[in-house]
């Protein structure tokens, strides 16, 4: 083998600087956030506004004790959707169809919850289960599309999502919608079919527990089980996995099904929470799917990091609105910041990969 010429990236000053950076996995995301915050500050200042007040507003808006309840509930949803992205990400696949899976979950939950008669103790679990099954099955479709027809999962999920969204809003409008309502939405669910409350909190409910359990489960599976190991192996080198006896096709199927199921569960939780009905578009407008994807990317799919990165995007989301209210900084800035974080992160991770890759050359 001939020696490859030294890649010019190694000579890049930024890189030299970055090579000094600590090795701990958390360092990369943190650095990305810091840089992003600085860039954001520049943008705010350029817009003739005061970065400090803006950021202060974001933080106070997000952590204001009065609204903490709400903030936590949003955090739970973003964590949930981060799992949706993270599971396939672990094996090197992108699920961009979270929206479709989310609304299908909402639909299933709404249909089950709508059928009152189910005893209180059963209604919620059954609704959530139904959501998981329907959304999971839908998510799973992308796996055979990839293994049989070679359509990348990133593409098929992307194309399938709007179809699901359209079908759900059609059903809401013409089939299961409330009569005489001005917008397409279901009737309110009976008391028996509403998400169990946590104390007297009005936003956060048992859904939070469920999401936390899901995250713990993912963390265990990822680090402690054969399946999790196989996910990471395939993510690192598909051929190696196949040679080692991993059934890549099945693994992809399982991962996509799990991913979709989680999305479905999140959809169910949101739907079964106040105001206890499924309203057309209400599941998508907060943009949990992309916030979750961003959090997952920022965490590199690592289970332990997701709750942390999710906090960031929760703050940006909840605080963004507050920032607009009190500091008159347009809320779009939170999208800007999220975007910058991800891009900066992508560039930073390269540096790390480079470091190991360069050792790999010899």
Q: Binding residues for ligand ATP, per CB under 6 A? A: 1, 3-4, 361-362
Residue 101 binds which entry of ligand ATP, another protein, none, with Cβ cut-offs from 5 to 8 Å by kind?
A: none
Give the end-to-end CA distance of the chain in Å, rounded to a whole number.
10
Spatial separation of the C-alpha atoms in residues 86 and 54, rounded to whole Å: 31
Q: Which residues contact 308 (CB under 8 A, 6 or more apart)?
A: 26, 29, 299
Residue 30 binds which entry of ligand ATP, another protein, none, with Cβ cut-offs from 5 to 8 Å by kind?
A: none
Side-chain half-sphere CA neighbours of 302 within 13 A: 12
Helix (H) or strand (E) holding 284: none
Spatial separation of the C-alpha atoms in residues 355 and 362, rounded to whole Å: 12
Residue 131 binds which entry of another protein, ligand ATP, none, with Cβ cut-offs from 5 to 8 Å by kind?
A: none
Residue 7 or 275 with smaller CB distance to ligand ATP: 7
| Contact yes or no for 293/313 (Cβ under 8 A) | no
Q: How far is the CB of 3 from ligand ATP (least distance, A)?
A: 3
CB-based closest residue to ligand ATP: 362
Q: How far is the CB of 19 from ligand ATP (least distance, A)?
A: 18
CA 160 to chain centre: 18
3-state class (DSSP) for residue 180: coil
Residue 346 binds which entry of ligand ATP, another protein, none, with Cβ cut-offs from 5 to 8 Å by kind?
A: another protein
Residue 162 binds which entry of another protein, ligand ATP, none, with Cβ cut-offs from 5 to 8 Å by kind?
A: another protein
Q: How far is the CB of 361 from ligand ATP (least distance, A)?
A: 5
How many residues in total does the chain contain? 362
Residue 4 or 150 with smaller CB distance to ligand ATP: 4
Residue 5 or 245 with smaller CB distance to ligand ATP: 5
Residue 114 or 301 with smaller CB distance to another protein: 301
């Amino acid at each position: 083998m001939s020696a490859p010429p030294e890649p010019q990236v190694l000579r890049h000053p930024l890189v030299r600087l970055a090579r000094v950076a600590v090795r701990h996995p958390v360092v990369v995301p943190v650095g990305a956030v810091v840089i992003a915050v600085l860039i954001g500050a520049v943008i705010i200042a350029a817009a003739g506004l005061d970065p400090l007040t803006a950021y202060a507003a974001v933080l106070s808006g997000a952590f204001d004790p009065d609204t903490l309840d709400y903030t936590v509930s949003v955090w739970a949803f973003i964590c949930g959707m981060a799992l949706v992205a993270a599971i396939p990400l672990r094996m090197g696949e992108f699920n961009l169809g979270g929206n479709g899976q989310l609304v299908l979950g909402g639909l299933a939950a709404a249909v089950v919850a709508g059928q009152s008669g189910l005893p209180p103790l059963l209604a919620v679990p059954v609704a959530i289960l139904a959501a998981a099954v329907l959304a999971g099955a839908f998510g799973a479709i992308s796996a055979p599309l990839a293994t049989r027809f070679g359509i990348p999962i990133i593409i098929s999920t992307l194309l399938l999502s709007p179809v699901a969204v359209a079908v759900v809003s059609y059903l809401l409008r013409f089939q299961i919608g409330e009569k005489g309502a001005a917008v397409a939405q279901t009737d309110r669910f009976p008391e028996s079919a509403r998400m169990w409350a946590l104390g007297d909190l009005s936003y956060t409910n048992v859904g939070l527990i469920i999401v936390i359990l899901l995250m713990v489960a993912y963390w265990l599976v990822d680090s402690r089980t054969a399946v999790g190991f196989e996910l990471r192996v395939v993510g690192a080198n598909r051929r190696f996995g196949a040679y080692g006896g991993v059934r890549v096709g099945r693994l992809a199927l399982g991962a996509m099904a799990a991913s979709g199921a989680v999305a479905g569960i999140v959809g169910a939780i949101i739907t079964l929470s106040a105001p206890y009905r499924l309203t057309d578009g209400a599941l998508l407008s907060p943009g949990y799917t992309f916030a979750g994807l961003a959090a997952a990317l920022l965490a590199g799919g690592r289970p332990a990091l997701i709750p942390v990165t999710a906090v960031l995007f929760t703050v940006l989301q909840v605080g963004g609105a507050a920032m607009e209210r009190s500091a008159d900084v347009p809320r779009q800035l939170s999208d800007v910041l999220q975007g910058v974080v991800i891009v900066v992160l992508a560039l930073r991770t390269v540096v790390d990969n480079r470091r190991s890759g360069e050792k790999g050359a010899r």
